Structure 1
Amino acid sequence: MNTIAQIHADIDTRVKTIRDGHPDWLCRQGCDGCCRRLAEIPRITAEEWNCLQEGLMALPPAQLREIGREISTLAGQISRPVICPLLDKAKGACLIYAHRPIACRTYGFYVQRDLGLYCKDIETRVSDGMLTEVVWGNDDGIDNRLRALGESRELPEWFAHWQRDTD
């Protein structure tokens, strides 16, 4: 079975295993380095967007409007890095944490073996031999499962369609 719920469950299991074995693991609320340095505008599948919408709809209207402005700005942004519009910058926490996309759930816990898809702090610990026993999840496997769910679009495109439908 390859549903968004199953992918979430599989990722949660892997993340729990890593965290249980490493209580000092860097990826947790307050560590927002990846959220502040996105290499590109997030692309998500329709199923991820449906989940993300649930989180957005639970936010206060004023906060949702502000997020909407930030997401709309992303559509024309060419400079990098990108700051995630769903980040509460003061708290270093995701505003829709339970509904966040797969890329956010896997970052710091899954890698593409040759691309180093994890933060510099984790990379330093790996280089210093501190994380030798960690069994990393395979980001390529997750990407393949996501592709099987259908097309993906950039976050501003999903948001723009949603705004038109709700206006």
Structure 2
Amino acid sequence: MTTLTHLHVDIDVRVQTIRENRSDWLCGKGCDGCCRRLADIPQLTAAEWDLLREGLAALPPERLQEIRGNMAVLSGQRSPPITCPLLDLATGSCPVYTQRPVACRTYGFYVQRDLGLYCHDIESRVADGALANVVWGNHDAIDHRLAGLGESRALTDWFERWDSGK
């Protein structure tokens, strides 16, 4: 089992534990709020990019062309919110969901000590006391584990290098 796979398993256990105890959990199929309101271009480690690239390579050419256009637009965008260039806007789904980066896997289930939860809807429910019994994952620990998975670059940079054959 690779280091990234092991990390995915650990994240999946935390996410599943939260979902099992909260049938009303906000994050789920059909919710794409985080994908439509990114604060910045996602950063991926080399290991995450290798996995994501496998998913991209398996997409139909027309879908990949759409993503290519989205990446070009995103490369020129300077201010948030940012929409994930991989998101299928018509369906609100991710075409490479199985290969998605760690940040996508942890969003809504992990807390970063100094930065919080990020999702406004979840933060509102926390403020109202509705999620008092949730045991959040520690995103600082995830970041520490990610640091050992190779260099980190912006999604647009990885994509451009791959797409141009570099």
Common topology (TM > 0.5): yes
- 1:142 and 2:142 correspond: yes
Partner of 1:84: 84
Q: 2:161, 2:138 → 1: CA distance?
A: 32
Q: Is the 8 A contact 1:2 1:145 kept in 2?
A: no
Residue 58 of structure 2 aligns with an amino acid whose one-letter code is A
Partner of 2:18: 18
Partner of 1:60: 60
- 1:126 and 2:122 correspond: no
Q: Is the 8 A contact 1:109 1:118 kept in 2?
A: no
Partner of 2:43: 43
Q: Is the 8 A contact 2:110 2:117 kept in 1?
A: yes
Partner of 2:159: 159
Superposition CA RMSD, Å: 1.4
Gaps of 5+ in 2: none
Please list every run of at least 4 consecutive aligned residues from structure 1 whose deviation after the TM superposition is greater than 4 angstroms: none
Q: Return 45-54 or 112-121, whichever deviates more.
A: 112-121
Q: Is the 8 A contact 1:38 1:82 kept in 2?
A: yes
- Secondary structure of the residue aligned to 1:44 is strand
Shift in Å at residue 72 of structure 1? 2.2
Aligned residues: 166
Residue 165 of structure 2 aligns with an amino acid whose one-letter code is D
